[in-house]
Amino acid sequence: MILYKTRIEKQIDFMLANEEFKVTFTNGYNCKSFDNLYENYDFDENNLFSKSFNFENGDVSNYLLENLFKIPTICACYEKKSFNEIGEFDENMYAEDPDMFLRLSKKYKFGFVNEILLIHRIHDSNPGKNSLILRKLIYQLINKYKNVDFYNKKEKEILINYFYKEGKIIPDHLINYSKDKKIIIWGTGSYVISFLEFNKLNIEFFLDSNSKKEDTYFKDKLIKNPKYLLTLNKESYFIYVASTFYKEIYAWLNNNNFIYLKNYF
């Protein structure tokens, strides 16, 4: 990581001028650099932090429930006094920042300094690229946040489901529930490849909305159009949605009377 000279100064000045903000973020570049530290940077606009998610000022508590891991932790700056109220970093975590963000967001407003003030080097040793560490962290977060009292039941449900999705984790109770059902996977993209690395399932077939993939094979299983689901007995099957377009897929399933956790996850 390379900090611009004025990065810390500007973030502190922002918080001093706007006392309601106890956390600030700044913009920057994600740049691939696998060899010389100062060569081969790609300063393309699409590599800006702000292209991967929407920076928001103010109350970001609800936003973080489904976007926590999109925030580049390296550009955060905290007011030290806030730790007196919400506690210090939880050093038992494999990564402390996501937990800190969640706790801070329930108490304080977050601010965005809309300037490019750092460069984040992307390379094979980045901890965020280690899927095993990420899954261990997510298990820790699930165990911690299913019992917190500062989120209501609905908020905890959204957050825990987000953790399962990001970690490509199937809850134990769903594994037991679906073990006697025929398994369908909705998705044939890059997400499902890593999903299947962590979850060994006896798959009946795959689903994909891309008509060009219909009646072709993926992982030696047939790919069918989602409309095929409408011909099946729902009670005999369970659908695992393994796609980054899960919100659109959930909407389709709900509109066709499939029930979350009963017919799909």
Please state the rounded mean pLDDT for residues 44-51: 84
Q: What is the pLDDT of residue 122?
A: 76
CATH number for the domain spanning 55: value is: 3.90.550.10
Q: pLDDT at residue 19 above 60?
A: yes
Residue 228, domain member (yes or no): yes
pLDDT of residue 16: 94
Residues 46 and 108 in one domain: yes
Identify the pLDDT of residue 71: 82
Examine residue 160 and state whether it is found in any structural domain, yes or no.
no
Please tell me the predicted confidence (pLDDT) of residue 36. Answer: 53
Residues 183 and 117 in one domain: no
Instruction: Give me the sign of the Cα torsion angle 223, 198, 94, 105.
Output: positive
Task: Give domain status of residue 102, yes or no.
Answer: yes
- Please tell me the predicted confidence (pLDDT) of residue 205: 98
pLDDT tens digit sequence for 190-230? 889 989 988 989 999 999 999 999 999 999 999 999 999 99
CA distance linking residue 26 with residue 6, whole number of Å: 11
Q: Is 180 inside any structural domain?
A: yes
Are 179 and 98 within one domain? no
Same domain, yes or no: 110 and 197: no
Confidence of residue 50 (pLDDT cuts 50, 70, 90): confident
The number of domains in the chain is 2
pLDDT of residue 66: 92
Confidence of residue 41 (pLDDT cuts 50, 70, 90): low
- If asked whether residues 119 and 222 sit together in one domain, one would say no
User: Would 159 be classed as within a structural domain?
Assistant: no
Tokens standing for residue 204: 């009946």
pLDDT tens digit sequence for 99-155 = 999 999 999 999 999 899 998 887 666 666 677 888 899 999 999 999 999 999 999
| Domain span including residue 56 | 2-125
Q: What is the pLDDT of residue 35?
A: 54
In a domain, 60, yes or no: yes
What's the rounded Cα separation, in Å, for the pair 97 and 94?
A: 10
Q: How far apart are CA 53 and CA 59, in angstroms?
A: 16
Does 57 have pLDDT greater than 70?
A: yes
Mean pLDDT (whole number) for 230-250: 95
Mean pLDDT of the chain: 90
Cβ(78)–Cβ(14) below 8 Å: no
Which CATH number is 232's domain given? Answer: 3.40.50.720
CB 114 within 8 A of CB 55: yes
Look at residues 125, 159, 188 and tell me which one is the last residue of a structural domain. 125
C-alpha 139/C-alpha 19 separation (Å) is 35
Stretch 46-70: mean pLDDT: 86
d(CA 244, CA 191): 7
Angle 144-147-153 from CA coordinates, rounded to 5° = 125
Instruction: Write down the pLDDT at residue 53.
Output: 75
Joined together, the tokens standing for residue 65 give 């429930």
In a domain, 147, yes or no: no
The 3-class secondary structure across the chain, one letter per residue, is CEECCCHHHHHHHHHHHCCCEEEEEEEEEEEECCCCCCCCCCCCHHHEHHHHCCCCCECCHHHHCCCHHHCCHHHCEECHHHHHHHCCCCCCCCCCHHHHHHHHHCCCEEEEEEEEEEEEEECCCCHHHCHHHHHHHHHHHHHHHCCCCCCCHHHHHHHHHHHHHHHCCCCHHHHHHHCCCEEEEECCCHHHHHHHHHCCCCEEEEECCCHHHCCCEECCEEEECHHHHHHCCHHHEEEEECCCCHHHHHHHHHHCCCCECCCEC
pLDDT for 34 beyond 60: no
Predicted local distance difference test score (pLDDT) of residue 31: 80
Which of 29-43, 55-69, 163-177, 205-219 is predicted most confidently? 205-219
